Chains A and B, each alone.
Chain A
């Protein structure tokens, strides 16, 4: 919620875990880049309640080179500014390619991820950035739960059609929206094949305004909400800047969702178990949803094989075609697998 800047390079360096030459050089660079830094971590509350304890460390993700450093909270200063500048929010974190893996075999449809997301982003109940679908491909196949965030496509149809560059793709792979520039044409909603985007049809509710408060706007957070503009799942870039994982990842009790940096070939689940991305996908036959559309999604799925929970029941009225008068096979858009 606030930016802290490093004011003491020397001390910061001492706490730097990377104490060899290379690390030192990088760290000095980081000090010089202090203006583009966001800090925060477990120590946030302490910083604000001014009971700073000496030697307490917070994680710092240097947005210049995408490395995580640790720094002493006492050496950080508070600035009343949005987390990052607009340019930085549009560029994204250097040398990172965020990626998500969703293990359908573990998902029991409890929607805790959705809940975590809704709470963290103050999302009104009629829309869900991360929606858990109940899917069934055909008569004979078994139904399964299908959590669907924004896929942060590498060939994003939504970004292609935006006339004013209000929705944009960053170097770390994240697709974000600048609600202060969006003209509300909803081309992107028509273009996204995954029904991922939502429109602020009305002004945010009074409770939401009160809860969010008068914080400075940043595309990385999308708050305060702006009527007449578009929003969607954002991979929680404000959390990523703090070196933390998105809310849905930590919110899932079943450790369904893995999140990580593709450049590091590693993803971590909510319990902190880190695995090799390529191996995970290889061993479990990872796939992307509707690959044939060529959107190059950054979200991978592991098929619901050897599930850890009973097969969900599929009621007729839960199929997509609820308005259809004729009984016919359920509308499962997905033809994957």
Chain B
């Protein structure tokens, strides 16, 4: 186990090295360090809360991802900064940390997080902060089969610990696919009404799995107050995938040959080899004949 771990570390460090080199090449060499900008966001999913910093540098008038920048994340409490965690950016310039429960909140129930690049070898010092509040996004499906309606309700806690609806937030409706969520339609954005509710009608021919299941996903993206929130729910609304009975048919490219090939080959060569056998039998006859006394 240990050796595998070592290898992974090695692989990671090799990748790191490689990134370093390319990152270094990307940067102007004059100062040695390049100026980076941080974009900070808060993401809430059903099971995780993360803070994401996207670091970019300007190169040839274009912003490109800053690779391998070390970003420190701080929580702010009464003007005091407390280091949460650090993370390095990947090849998309993203540094992600998981946020634990119980972040300090101010009188408006908002939390503040600061992301900083400090004393990095490649990048100048810089920082960015964000404020966000907690919100809850709950989904429900309409029980009737007539229309595939998804209802999303966005709420926040008020100071008394009571849930109050959030009005005027933009929610986007998606279908969860293997590697990401796909917009559920052309215009998948719906604004919540005064009850904090947004409804979207899903199309009826979304491919689902073999049981016809799909996963509905609703997101609020980059809201100024609440950051990003995502919520998911399975629905038996998809067209079910036909199970292929025999995924490995007899085929030229398959493991087993189509019958015509087998039959043709074995007939042709069967005939030839049986003739060979008959000849060997005759040879034995010749031999037997030779063993007899001369006539």
Contacts and interface: CB of A to CB of B under 8 A. Distances in A.
Interface of A: 1-2, 15, 17-20, 22-23, 26, 44-45, 48-49, 55-57, 65-68, 70, 78, 80, 91, 94-96, 115-116, 119, 155-156, 159-160, 165, 168-169, 171, 211-215, 243-245, 250-251, 253, 259-261, 263-266, 268, 270-276
B52 to A, nearest CB: 12
B254 to A, nearest CB: 8
A1 B180 contact: no
Interface in B236-295: 236, 241, 243-244, 247-248, 252-255
Given A260-B177, A263-B241, 13 more contacts: A1-B7, A1-B8, A20-B234, A22-B213, A80-B1, A80-B4, A168-B255, A250-B92, A266-B178, A268-B178, A268-B180, A274-B174, A274-B182
B180 A22 contact: no
Contacts of B243: 95
Contact of B211 (A22, A211, A275): A22
A187 B202 CA distance: 50
B4 A2 contact: yes
B287 to A, nearest CB: 38
Contact of B3 (A17, A65, A214, A264): A214
B238 to A, nearest CB: 9
A171 B248 contact: yes
Contacts of A212: 7
A76 to B, nearest CB: 14
A51 B28 CA distance: 39
B255 A165 contact: yes
16 contacts: A17-B215, A48-B1, A48-B5, A66-B209, A160-B252, A171-B247, A213-B4, A244-B179, A253-B65, A260-B179, A264-B177, A265-B207, A266-B175, A274-B177, A274-B181, A274-B182
B178 A243 contact: yes
A169 B236 CA distance: 31
A1 B4 contact: yes
B258 to A, nearest CB: 11
A182 B47 CA distance: 45
A169 B251 CA distance: 11
A98 to B, nearest CB: 9
Contact of B91 (A213, A251, A264, A276): A251
Interface residues of B, number: 48
B64 interface: yes
A44 B252 CA distance: 40
A270 B65 CA distance: 13
Contacts of A48: 1, 4-5, 8
Interface in B123-148: none
A18 B177 contact: no
Contacts of A80: 1, 4
Interface stretch (B11-19, B102-110, B190-198): B11-19
A25 to B, nearest CB: 9
A95 B207 CA distance: 12
A22 B6 CA distance: 41
Nearest to B235: A20
A243 B177 CA distance: 11
Nearest to B15: A119
B209 to A, nearest CB: 6
A44 B254 CA distance: 36
Given A80-B1, A156-B253, A268 B14 contact: no
A141 B41 CA distance: 45
Nearest to B91: A251
B211 to A, nearest CB: 6
Contact of B215 (A18, A57, A245, A253): A18
B46 interface: yes
B219 to A, nearest CB: 12
Contacts of B167: none
Contacts of B232: 17
A334 B275 CA distance: 50
B234 A22 contact: yes
B178 A264 contact: yes
A321 B15 CA distance: 36
Nearest to A15: B47
B182 A18 contact: no
A211 B182 contact: no
Nearest to A162: B253
